[in-house]
Copies of this chain bind each other. A is one copy, B any other.
């Protein structure tokens, strides 16, 4: 196995891939998108600092709960760029996400607990339901829950009250 040597604090792309479980191509992609950074050796190979593993774990965990790479990048951009982030830095990032993650957790709870009373009930009370929240910031661009226009319950009542049909 040629060129397995790295200093204690530097990791090759293959090492990061193996240890994070993310494909090399995805790491390249994240780097192009500015979510992670690398230095280069004299022969143009990437070297990652160890905190990259944390960044990647953060990326995958966030992504897995439905947050877009763009939003993840914005969060990561709040970490200090020119020193290794400390636990306090990560804690600040964590705190900044609390409210937004709380929103998402609430939505999941709503979906889990209130499915029956909200959707399964006889009343079709969708227009007051908290499942159909006004938009939130975390969602990938247009995919958020849309607010239902306040429409009377009687059928075929589409007069001229700003239809809110999404143009998107």
In the complex the two chains form, what is the Cα distance from A103 to B126 in whole Å?
26
**CA of A26 to CA of B32 in the docked complex: distance in angstroms?**
31
- Please state if A156 and B101 are interface contacts (CB–CB under 8 Å): no
Cβ distance A133 to chain B, nearest Cβ, rounded Å = 8
- The answer on a CB contact under 8 Å between A57 and B90 is no
Q: Please measure, in the bound complex, the distance between the C-alpha atom of A119 and the C-alpha atom of B53, giving whole angstroms.
A: 9
Measured CA separation A54–B22 after assembly (Å): 38
User: Is the Cβ of B148 less than 8 Å from the Cβ of A4?
Assistant: no
Considering the complex, give the chain B residue whose CB is closest to the CB of A91: B116
Ordered by A's residue number, 23 sampled pairs between the chains whose C-beta atoms are within 8 Å are: A4-B158, A5-B156, A14-B158, A15-B155, A18-B151, A18-B158, A21-B148, A21-B166, A53-B124, A54-B124, A57-B129, A57-B131, A61-B111, A61-B131, A64-B145, A65-B66, A66-B66, A85-B120, A94-B112, A97-B115, A101-B108, A101-B112, A105-B109
